[in-house]
Structure 1
Amino acid sequence: MQFNSKNLQCFLGAGLLIFAASDCRADIVLSTTRIIYPESLKNSMVQLMNKGNKPLLAQIWLDDGRENTNPESLKVPFVITPPIARIDPSRGQTVRITYMSKILPADRESLYWFNVLEIPPKDKNSTDKNQLQLAFRTRVKLLYRPSGIKGDSAIAAQKLKWHVASSTNGLNIEAKNDSPFYVSLNVVQLNTGGTYYSVEPKTVPPFSTEQMTVPGLHKNVEHAKINYKAINDYGGEIEVESDAQ
């Protein structure tokens, strides 16, 4: 289940059974919905705050898009300090992210994901050995931004080029991103003749294209417009209407 740029997932028991649930609520809140890490910074800081009424243990790590991979097996060019922290109620914890390598592309952004898994303490007074422990994970994007890339990420979102084409699976729309920035789409709609078709949004990588299927349409359309919302560096929305080719 996606909430803009944040994924909230629940884990049950020792087996870590994952399910998406609308009534899940994390007590640990991040200071941002996305992390922009300019190359010029020595470190990037993220503030965690425990809004709950009990102490929590937080495990923090980065992944490279493989969200269900064991963190210990992931090799990312960053160091998280601290990787594990106890956060008392109404208290915070500053997490430092440090870039440790120069292997990332210099002409475009690189995308990673910042994860916080909060684990509540066991109830020492409970006699139920089969008691389930709920753990919550929050996951937001981390964008490493090299100093040498030119342009503006907000302008990049506004300048996506859209193309409509039929396929064996129905009608697709294609977003082309000619910029060195990731463009995170939050809402995408195809407007043809005043009828709007909602499309599942995707993130469009730098110098790449992404295809999205239009549910309910199976033939090509003419003079269509694409109405979309992209997420800016601060977690706000950029609203754009664009002609589709």
Structure 2
Amino acid sequence: MKRKLLTLASVVFCLSSTLAHAGVNVGATRVIYQGKDKEANLSVTNTVDDRIPYLIQSWVSEYGTDEATEKFIVTPPLFRLDPGSQNMLRIMAVQAKQLPTDRESLFAVNVKAIPAKSNDPGRENVLQIAIKTSIKMFYRPEGLPGNLIDAAKGMVWYSHNGQLLFENPSRYHLVVSKLVINGQEQKGLPDVIAPGQRGTATIKAKPGDSLTMSYINEYGSAVEASAVTLASQ
């Protein structure tokens, strides 16, 4: 009886801990949709690792939500992706006139990979689950002045009552990778600082402190901006 219980426990452990790792990859960590272009593209690849096809469902949502927005369409919205194959998603703005023309807008591209049932006898105890990937999409209107490098340089930092104040006067979103004050990494800034956003971070700071911010550029790499010395407000 004891041996049977141990065997049963082993089977349950196998079923609960052996998950099918999706072999579906998206071709970028972010999408920059240039307003002058008719569309933006994103590749989706099914590696040969899983040896099974996936049903791919894709849509664009407002950043921070999961519900599809009517401002963009993705084609094809639903398709089969076989092992070792690749397809290109075409993202098109269908309500571009409703988007601001004086600053970037932030959305998310969502790609859900739904695995097909495997007929491989060796995978019958594998729990297969759908996996969703969401990446940021920045809609950049045509003729927008400045660039992301200047936006990072133009960030305004102050110390007020022992707290860190920040302001992004640019027209670009800044995705914060790291914030360092006096050589110590700090937590408490928003992950994304929107155009025109200002606020108080839950970070202690005083006049004279040295501050360095690293941000994520268009290619998904962390870039360190020039150090600044905090002034009081």
Instruction: Compute the TM-score of the two structures, normalised by the length of structure 1.
Output: 0.75
SS state at 2:195 partner = coil
How many residues get paired?
207
Distance 1:226 1:25 in 2: 40
Q: C-alpha displacement at 1:48, in angstroms?
A: 0.9
Structure number with the higher strand fraction is 1
Contact 1:53 1:90 in 2 (8 A): no
Larger radius of gyration: 2
SS state at 2:208 partner = coil
Structure number with the higher helix fraction is 2
Name which of 54, 58, 61 aligns with 2:59. 61
Alignment of 1:88-99 (within 5 A): 88-99=82-93
Distance 1:57 1:174 in 2: 46
Name which of 201, 210, 227 aligns with 2:212. 227
Q: C-alpha displacement at 1:89, in angstroms?
A: 1.4
Distance 2:21 2:156 in 1: 37
Instruction: Compute the TM-score of the two structures, normalised by the length of structure 2.
Output: 0.79
2:201 maps to 1:207: no
Distance 1:142 1:174 in 2: 27
2:228 matched residue in structure 1: 242
Name which of 74, 83, 90 aligns with 1:80. 74
Say what the alpha-carbon RMSD is for the aligned residues: 2.6
Name which of 181, 186, 196 aligns with 2:177. 186
Contact 2:158 2:207 in 1 (8 A): no
Which amino acid letter does the alignment assign opposite residue 93 of structure 1? N
1:162 matched residue in structure 2: 157
Alignment of 1:106-185 (within 5 A): 106-123=101-118, 132-166=127-161, 172-185=163-176
SS state at 1:134 partner = coil
Gap change, CA 1:99 and 1:90, over 3 Å in 2: same
Task: Calculate percent identity across the aligned residue pairs.
Answer: 28
1:41 matched residue in structure 2: 37
Which amino acid letter does the alignment assign opposite residue 233 of structure 1? E
